[in-house]
Structure 1
Amino acid sequence: MVTFLEKGVLPGTRSSVSVPDDGDVVDLEINTPARRERRKVDTTVLLLLFLGLLVFQLDCMNLASALTDGFAKEIKVFQNNTNLDSQLMFPCIVVLEIPSNIILQHIGPQKWTSAQVFIFGLVVTLQVFVKNNTGFLVSRSFLGLCKAGYIPGGIYTLSTWYTKRELAKRVAVFFFGMFGGNTISTLLTSGILKLRGHGIYTMCVAMALLLLLPGSPDQPLRLQADDSKRMPGTQGLRIPISLVWKTVKHYRRWTHFISTVAVFPTWSLLIIYMPIIMMTLGSNTIEANALASVGGFLALGVVFFFGWLSDKINKRGLSVIIAQSLYLIILIITHSVHPNFGKWSRWGFSTTVNAFAIGYHPVLNSWVQLNCMDPREKSISIAIWVMSAISGLMTETQYYRADDLPFYSKGLQI
């Protein structure tokens, strides 16, 4: 009979991975050192990467806050120009996603991730010098180049620290940084608009990442017990072009990518323009931004619920289907009653849409990466998945147009 140590399993534990020769099953929850190690990872790796994504999104979403403060008039740009800004920023992010992940694999997340956060924080700080439309477009495009790779790099780093049954919830918490950033940005509008150089706090987060983010776990026993076939990563691995091409050709994963392109673009524009809609309906700037934030807060609970459900039932595909189906039903109902909206019913339906728009998203990501055995292939697959989401957002930027004011009926129909 094969011993626990020969299988890579800690003595006195059971594993969630079936063992072919004797059928033993593992449950790492009963192992106290494993639980202690996981808590340490939660309070270091997960927390730091979450903070990095939070400032990442705040730096993106400050545009929504600025629009309510007359920013467009100040530098002489109009709504369609701000749509073009987003459309330029997104391809700049896409073009460097895979190269960024290749660099991360080579030098490790501690150095590369902290450098990224510091650089895009610096770019945001320098935006205070933007005086016209040209400077606006150039600065936002360069910001996109600097942000490329942070999200897939952060997700991939998490995958090297957590077991399969722990990952979906942690990816959901990581994405709290993005979805929470949208919410917090509207709540902090008044303060943010007075702090014209607010990218400085982003650079502080970068220093925290550099000083506190641990290196690669290099296959601790807790992770090996979960999956004896797990390969090491995230540092010192070279990714040849042939492996990138092999990953791109893996046609089964393209169902994930196409789903992301189709569904994700329906999310963020309603959040961006909801404060404007509420101001049209009679709310002042503070009230409009506060009301717009509610959907984002609810979305955090929805995201975590589906992450928890996915880990609980261990059915990633089913969890994604349920989350996307609920969102589709809400969109159909909202579109059907849209012409009859009053102020508060319009706010209620829009808030519900915002709450359920991205419940599937972290689980879909976990589904993609749990089917990758090679860490290099996983890194590239995550990058392509994020590129799919960003590519979808490029089309979304033109959904809401100035000629569709005040309630963007055509945009909602699309």
Structure 2
Amino acid sequence: MMWKKQSVKIQCKDEGDDGFKKSAVQLRRIADFQVLPLLLIGFATYQLDRTNISSALTGGLASDISVNQNTINLGNQLMYIGVIVLEIPSNIVLLKIGPRWWIGGQVFIFGVIAALQMFIRNKTGFLLTRALLGLAEAGYIPGAMFTLSTWYTREEITKRIAIFFFGMFGGTAVSPLLGAGLLRLDGKGGISGWQWIFLVEGIWSMTISLMLMFLLPERKKYQTISEIEKIDLHETQDTQHTIAQRIPLTVVWRTLTDLYKWPHFLATACVFATWCPLTTYTPSIIMSLGFTRVQANALAAIGYLMTLPVVLFFAWLSDKTKKRGFTVMIAISAYLIALVVLRLVQAHVDRWGKFGLWTTVNGLAVGYHPIHNAWIQMNSQNPEERSVRVAMCTFLVDIFRD
């Protein structure tokens, strides 16, 4: 009887192997052609709403609502504080509600708030809408990255995270181009160019939110394929309904107090402390060189577009060498060198030289970022820790770029 029972188990296991391989291939196909593209588009939309203020400033936003640069900076700080407050709690809620409704709902809410910015008339209205926008946007990046990690193996996640961040860099690149086009509508329908920017991009966000809510596939359990592969196949059926529904406070505390991970968090935060102001003021900087507001917005997009091949290169290098930390160090070093050269040379070149230097800095700024995020996820022991780590990384980024 024992021999017979063992034979049946082995036979079921063999059958399960084939079924699992087919299931894994199917999961990857769904992830590559549905989950990843939808989250990428959502990320681009998120970035449009976050960075369109740079184009609005060249369209006269500050003068129209009677605010100065200090108020603009304060508004951005309030936005990031809003993100900071809800980032980790957002990923905790994600595990309960699921990514489809939680992520899609967030995009809809920040789309509404983004559109309402067209009605700003004074300092109070500006600061209030920026703070609300930050609260609404808080969970998108950590929630989307955690969702991706439930669909891919350790070997697959780096390239997918790099592709996902195309949404961020692509959105940053498209934002000034779209801004340049929408600024041409200045005065149409009695609406200023900067108001058109907020209205159109807010409506776009609400449209994308409906796509996410109705088209984003959901897995019923928060385990990566690699984690499933560790389970003996004859036990898989018994574990399919095991869902991580909550994050114990002990996991949160253990993650926050793991000092060996803090250098990774702080490295990301320090880079973003220098790059994020550039996303707000690059069009204005280029405009100060003597270009028109439309030209400045169009030229600003070049540096952001450069980020895309830079990200792909470092992702390829990371996978090729399997040296994640070394690749991150090279990428950050390239950015620091560009900053030093900018500081030393810009006073001695003409406006096109200055434009080239600023463009290079923008292109190299965050080439390391997708690899770093993938590393953080790959070295998490379980879904709960991964969720907190991803939120923590974004949390510190937003603190330092304040």
Report deviation, 1:312. Answer: 2.8
Aligned AA for 1:318?
Answer: F
SS in 2 for 1:188: helix
Question: Which residue, 215, 218, 232 being the options, matches 1:215?
Answer: 218
Change in Cα spacing, 1:106 to 1:218, as seen in structure 2 (3 Å) is closer
Question: Which residue, 172, 197, 202 being the options, matches 2:199?
Answer: 197
Question: Which residue, 28, 44, 47 being the options, matches 1:38?
Answer: 28
Change in Cα spacing, 1:297 to 1:390, as seen in structure 2 (3 Å) is same
Deviates more, 1:351-360 or 1:2-11: 2-11
Indicate conservation of the 8 Å contact 2:142/2:387, yes or no. yes
Q: What is the aligned partner in structure 1 of residue 99 from structure 2?
A: 109
What is the distance in 1 between the residues matched to 2:59 and 2:241?
46
Q: What is the aligned partner in structure 2 of residue 84 from structure 1?
A: 74
Identity %: 44
Q: What is the aligned partner in structure 1 of residue 5 from structure 2?
A: none
Aligned AA for 2:257?
Answer: K
For structure 1, the residue ranges without an aligned partner over 5 or more in a row are: 14-30, 395-414
Aligned AA for 2:260?
Answer: R
Question: Which residue, 103, 109, 123 being the options, matches 1:119?
Answer: 109
Report deviation, 1:252. Answer: 1.0
Aligned AA for 1:92?
Answer: G
Aligned AA for 2:219?
Answer: S
Change in Cα spacing, 1:200 to 1:384, as seen in structure 2 (3 Å) is same
Indicate conservation of the 8 Å contact 2:151/2:224, yes or no. no
Q: What is the aligned partner in structure 1 of residue 327 from structure 2?
A: 319
Change in Cα spacing, 1:37 to 1:101, as seen in structure 2 (3 Å) is closer
Count of aligned positions: 376
What is the distance in 1 between the residues matched to 2:114 and 2:67?
18
Change in Cα spacing, 1:255 to 1:131, as seen in structure 2 (3 Å) is same
Aligned AA for 1:292?
Answer: A
Change in Cα spacing, 1:359 to 1:238, as seen in structure 2 (3 Å) is same
Change in Cα spacing, 1:170 to 1:225, as seen in structure 2 (3 Å) is same
Indicate conservation of the 8 Å contact 2:170/2:308, yes or no. yes
What is the distance in 1 between the residues matched to 2:300 and 2:224?
45
Indicate conservation of the 8 Å contact 1:157/1:234, yes or no. no
CA RMSD of aligned residues (A): 2.8
What is the distance in 2 between the residues matched to 1:62 and 1:177?
15
Report deviation, 1:266. Answer: 1.4
Indicate conservation of the 8 Å contact 1:166/1:311, yes or no. no
What is the distance in 1 between the residues matched to 2:25 and 2:355?
43
Indicate conservation of the 8 Å contact 1:180/1:296, yes or no. yes
Aligned AA for 2:115?
Answer: T
Question: Which residue, 127, 132, 141 being the options, matches 1:137?
Answer: 127
Aligned AA for 1:124?
Answer: A
- Superposition pairs for residues 369-380 of structure 1, below 5 Å? 369-380=377-388
Q: What is the aligned partner in structure 1 of residue 392 from structure 2?
A: 384
What is the distance in 1 between the residues matched to 2:15 and 2:105?
35
What is the distance in 1 between the residues matched to 2:15 and 2:178?
49
Superimposed CA distance per residue, residues 74-115 of structure 1 (whole angstroms, 9 cap, x where no aligned partner): 111111110111111111110100110000011110111111
Question: Which residue, 68, 83, 94 being the options, matches 2:84?
Answer: 94
Indicate conservation of the 8 Å contact 2:222/2:383, yes or no. no
Q: Are 2:352 and 1:344 equivalent residues in the alignment?
A: yes
Report deviation, 1:48. Answer: 0.8
Change in Cα spacing, 1:280 to 1:239, as seen in structure 2 (3 Å) is same
For structure 2, the residue ranges without an aligned partner over 5 or more in a row are: 1-8, 186-195
Report deviation, 1:285. Answer: 1.6
What is the distance in 1 between the residues matched to 2:242 and 2:147?
7
Change in Cα spacing, 1:12 to 1:241, as seen in structure 2 (3 Å) is closer
Superimposed CA distance per residue, residues 134-160 of structure 1 (whole angstroms, 9 cap, x where no aligned partner): 011001101101111110000000000
Aligned AA for 2:265?
Answer: F
Aligned AA for 1:111?
Answer: W
Indicate conservation of the 8 Å contact 1:233/1:375, yes or no. no
Aligned AA for 2:41?
Answer: L
Aligned AA for 1:260?
Answer: T
Higher helix fraction: Structure 1 or Structure 2? 2
Superimposed CA distance per residue, residues 251-274 of structure 1 (whole angstroms, 9 cap, x where no aligned partner): 111111111122221113224322
